[in-house]
Amino acid sequence: MSTATTHLNCKRAHMAYKSLQDKLDHVGSPVEMLRNSQAGPYVYPIPAEFSNWRDEQRAWRETVALMDQSFHMTDLYLQGPDVMRLISHLGVNAFNGFVVVLYGLFAAFYASVDWQALRPLVIAIVATMPLFVIPPLLHRVNDYAAMLSIAVINGAALALLAYIVGTASGVHFFLFAAPAAIVFFGPHHVRVAAFITVCILILFLLVEFYFPPHGSIAPASPALLMWIRTACVSAVMALIFMAVYFAIRMLENAEAALEREFDRSEGLLLNLMPTSIASRLKNDPSEIIADHFDEVTILFADIVGFTPRASQSPPHEVVRYLNRVFSQFDRLAEKYRLEKIKTIGDAYMVAGGMPDPQVGHAADVANMALEILDVTRKLSSELGEYMAVRIGIHTGPAVAGVIGTRKLFYDVSANTENTASRMESHGSAGKIQVTDDTKRALGEAFQFERRGTVEVRGKGEMELYYLTGRTG
């Protein structure tokens, strides 16, 4: 995957993640959520996405922050001039420091080769080195002043050195390395780099054609000049190679960082929304996602007696308790390939047959409901206290989609959801109440106990049943 392609994919995901981040900001802390614990059921707005509240919140914020860093790193190479200012400071100062080190190495080299003959050259190099404190100071003014100062100091210094020892030494060949500075200056300064390159080229031609081949200030033998020329040409080639290698490595590191954060963010988004919905949202964040399903099965489960318990317990214990229970429910939903829609306080909602059609979704929901009863009995034993849930299930048509433009949420809106909720609220502790529609959808594979005709608020009289187990 190329850097540009990865960046495009991440940008699409980023638009979705930013809007989903608002939902996290919308959710209060556990303490704030539980202060109003006297308001009755469904007063603990802990979304399903954050049942493992602290870990998910921390992971979400870290992911968004790292994604932002990755996007900014890609803009370094693709389009981000404003984002690059700090990076430009570091790059120019790094280049400036590298030049100073190179000057020092060549001063030591010339002194070791022939101190007597090249002493003026060595002194000139050492005298020039303090001038390189100027670019970092000019960076406080602006980037361009620092870049131009580096070009002027280097150009003048190399011209002076070529005049001292002669053009036959090849000292002025270092001017050929000027275009490599764009790696450190950044592509958004390409015009300045191009201007500097043209000026350096003109300076090189002036030095090459108008400066004497053999200097009178530091006269050197032809053999010594050949040694110096060879060292300068080799150093210029090494400098250009290092600049190109540095640029390639930066690109590779940026692409690798983008891909890692894209994969991590992809996993988090898939944990927040169904896979197919997340893909549609990333491909077209402006799409209105609304789907009709001819038949789905929806389950509501509510922890009996949770409100009094929560009002008498510290907030962190309440959140830990919910997390322990709902984590078990999440495991069952994953086991039966069901879609966890949301949690509303101590109520848990899951759906089968959506957003992707699923054969046998009613049976999968029924099996999960039966295992929820097993889980609650086991948790009761582990916690040393009685724990029970009311479960309601209904099968029917539904409409589902992504709600909102900023605080996105995948939700179900239909009579089927409302009926399933009524089955739970009108049910009994430790039992699974289902409608006649769900009973027909399950067929002979499950056992039922007829409850009879019940007056359901908002629905009228309904024939209801308790799901008691599997047949055989």
The confidence score (pLDDT) of residue 51 equals 42
Which comes out higher in pLDDT, residue 283 or 430? 430
Residues 119 and 125: their CA atoms lie apart, in Å, by 10
The pLDDT of residue 92: 63
Average pLDDT, the chain: 78
| DSSP sequence for 410-454 | EEE-SHHHHHHHHHHHTS-TT-EEEEHHHHHHHGGGEEEEEEEEE
pLDDT tens-digit readout, 365-405: 999 999 999 999 998 888 888 889 999 999 999 888 777 66
Exposure letters 213-238 (e unless 16+ CB within 10 A, then b):
eebeebebeeebbebbbebbeebbee
Confidence of residue 23 (pLDDT cuts 50, 70, 90): very low
Q: Euclidean distance between the first and final Cα of the chain, in Å?
A: 53
Helix (H, G, I), strand (E, B) or coil at 44: coil
pLDDT of residue 16 exceeding 90: no
Say if residue 63's pLDDT is above 70.
Answer: no
Question: In the predicted model, what is the mean pLDDT of residues 71-78?
Answer: 43
More confidently predicted of 8 and 151: 151
Q: How far apart are alpha carbons 59 and 261 in whole angstroms?
A: 12
Return the higher-pLDDT residue of 265 and 312. 312
Quick one: pLDDT at residue 254? 82
Q: CA-CA distance, 112 to 154, in Å (whole number)? A: 23
Task: With cut-offs at 50, 70 and 90, classify the pLDDT of residue 178.
Answer: confident
